[in-house]
Chains A and B, each alone.
Chain A
């Protein structure tokens, strides 16, 4: 697949209707190119076990996953605390605050775990990925790779895709656990729910199905973030301003698609 492409040049529109048609056409081309980048990266996974690829995958897992742990931890703990507080205050009206652990566990596993880890990774790792590849595009490094007959999908996209496909579900699970822990702190300190009772209720409601659906969502989010970040990076033009635009477009597209995909996956299973 050729990554270095010329901008699609269309004749100036003669009416608003034609302008709308051209916009739709350009969006379709964008979706088509992003999809082919995604498929190309998956096709290149047959080279994932070469020495360089393994090293690069581990590097990407570290930069994309391990280095995100502090921010993910803070977000997860506070999301759990907010959930426990809001649910607990309402449940206390009916003397049901002991059930706050069950509610936090169910919400974190199904929705908030993958959702929050997806958003955090889109804003941090996705933006960094788009900026890095965008800068490489502007500096003609991508063109240089292609002239050296090095496939950018195999060289750049595949290791990032593998790393994100592994790390986003793991981070999502970690987010769930940290959220439940944060909820326990609020349960104990503000709702007077004993630790043992909180965790007992939480574990009783930890359904395997919720876990699998959450992990599946996280997997999709990892694929989405990598595809959009790499697509926007490769499509960067017009220097430093272009890198800024690519990064912003990447984050916005990731946020929107994470929301939309999250809804449809939930809708499919529940």
Chain B
């Protein structure tokens, strides 16, 4: 579904991604984890061409996104929903108007008669059915994230990209977001790519986890194999979150 082929990304002298390659399968939940500044969000932005690789190729299905023509990008991007770390809601619009925006203005333009139902449905999925009239500034961080998520899924995209979906949220809201991602994946078959520091999230809901470290993929594994890994960078990252190899993770889950 999404394929990185020897992707290198440099900003001036700093190389953030160094010939990384991986493939994300259709319908899976794929997490990208790693310390800050290792290129997790940069990878995500390459998938929708908010960034262009210095070298290498990024494929989405049969589309070579990394060198697609500018006028072809709207079509490619219309396959995606994107939950930004900051939620990126337009401050002067209500939550309802924000969620309705891609249906009123974008490539997924829908008849006015259906917009209200679709927006209410998306808001209900994220538990914000009563917050449609509020402005983003009136919402808590968690509610803003959920409103951003409602906007990302209202067009029923094939792929949803989540940039730190649980950062800054309380544990209850974080688990609710996890459940939502899992639910969307199971019910609608949406491919989900999640960048996160939250290992609880990544291990709970992902099919596979990639850890980026120093511009390389340090490990790409299923959650179970990830926890058992002896790769020093991975081990250090897990130990810092009190996740040991000896079953403590499963204990946490139960």
Contacts and interface: CB of A to CB of B under 8 A. Distances in A.
Contacts of A12: 13
Interface string B73-111: 110011010101110111000000000011011111000
A143 B84 CA distance: 9
Nearest to A155: B105
19 contacts: A1-B70, A4-B50, A6-B52, A9-B10, A9-B11, A52-B104, A139-B88, A140-B85, A144-B82, A144-B84, A147-B77, A148-B77, A148-B102, A148-B155, A149-B77, A149-B102, A149-B107, A150-B102, A150-B105
Contact of B88 (A7, A141, A149, A150): A141
A2 B76 CA distance: 14
Nearest to A135: B91
Contacts of B101: 148, 150
Interface string B36-73: 00000000000010111000000000000000001001
Contact of B106 (A141, A143, A148): A148
Contact of A2 (B70, B82, B88, B155): B70
Contacts of A150: 101-102, 105-106
B247 interface: no
A162 B107 CA distance: 24
Given A148-B101, A149-B106, A150-B105, A140 B74 contact: no
A148 B160 CA distance: 12
A147 B78 CA distance: 7
Contacts of B12: 9
Interface residues of B, number: 30
A52 B105 contact: yes
Nearest to B76: A149
Interface in A128-149: 136, 139-141, 143-144, 146-149
B197 to A, nearest CB: 18
Contacts of B13: 12
Secondary structure dominating the interface of B: loop
Contacts of B108: 149
A178 B208 CA distance: 70
Interface in A1-54: 1-2, 4, 6-7, 9, 12, 52
A52 B115 CA distance: 15
B106 to A, nearest CB: 4
Contacts of B86: 139-140
Interface in B1-37: 10-13
A194 B11 CA distance: 70
A6 B70 CA distance: 14
Nearest to A154: B105
Nearest to B81: A147
Closest 10 CB pairs of A and B: A144-B88, A149-B74, A149-B107, A148-B102, A149-B106, A140-B88, A148-B106, A150-B105, A147-B82, A140-B84
Nearest to A147: B82
Nearest to A1: B70
A120 to B, nearest CB: 24
A6 B73 CA distance: 16
A238 B145 CA distance: 23
A12 B90 CA distance: 38
Contacts of B11: 6-7, 9
A147 B50 contact: yes
A155 B101 CA distance: 11
A193 to B, nearest CB: 49
A149 B78 contact: yes
